[in-house]
Structure 1
Amino acid sequence: MALIITDECINCDVCEPECPNSAISQGDEIYEIDPNLCTECVGHYDTPQCVEVCPVDCIPKDPDHVESKEQLMEKYKHITADA
């Protein structure tokens, strides 16, 4: 399941550099996560790094992009193969 940044985001800039897949970018008003690049850090870390550093707890799982750990690992393999 990809993650999503909610409107509680305070644009503190700490999440973007922590993302190993470059899935986080500045949107029109708040940071956004590209669900095609988000693997919840599967393949890189044990926990999502953006969630770890977020000071306002505004990065939940995205119910519109439900994926299993296996699917996230396959996405990780695809993303890193293209790199």
Structure 2
Amino acid sequence: MAIKITDECINCGACEPECPNNAIYEGGVEWAVSDGTSVKGSFTLIDGSVVDADQKNEPLSVDTYYITANKCTECQGFHEEPQCAAVCPVDCCVPDDMYQETVEELISKKDRLHL
């Protein structure tokens, strides 16, 4: 499953540079699939909708850092554990129960993000 950032976030920003998929954004910042990935053209999101990789999407949070599940792979294929959770000083990077994905699905997502 993807990782999410809870309301306990203190906006320290330690997590953002650690994400190999650039799935972490500062509150209020729009996100795009192409940010920090090699994706060009169309990309299918978790909900099945197809977007242009460069399309700017609404921020998922305005007040705190957030993780877009569409790009989060729990660092599968890069690290032994999610790096955001490893560096978070207040332990607010936790599994997101809304997005149940197997390791195989996470690796496949990683492969689609980094051609």
TM-score (norm 1): 0.95
Aligned: 1:17 with 2:17: yes
Aligned: 1:59 with 2:57: no
Find 1:48's aligned residue among 57, 60, 82.
82
Residue equivalent to 2:70:
36
Q: How many residues align?
A: 81
More helix by share: 1
What is the CA deviation profile of residues 44-65 of structure 1, one whole-angstrom value per residue up to 9, with x for unaligned ones? Answer: 1111100000000011110111
Distance 1:29 1:69 in 2: 31
Aligned: 1:73 with 2:104: no
More strand by share: 2
Q: Which has the larger radius of gyration?
A: 2
Q: Following TM superposition, by how much is the alpha carbon of 1:4 offset from its aligned partner in structure 2, in angstroms?
A: 0.3
Stretches of structure 2 that go unaligned for 5 or more consecutive residues are 28-61
Residue equivalent to 2:58:
none
SS of the residue aligned with 1:76?
Answer: helix
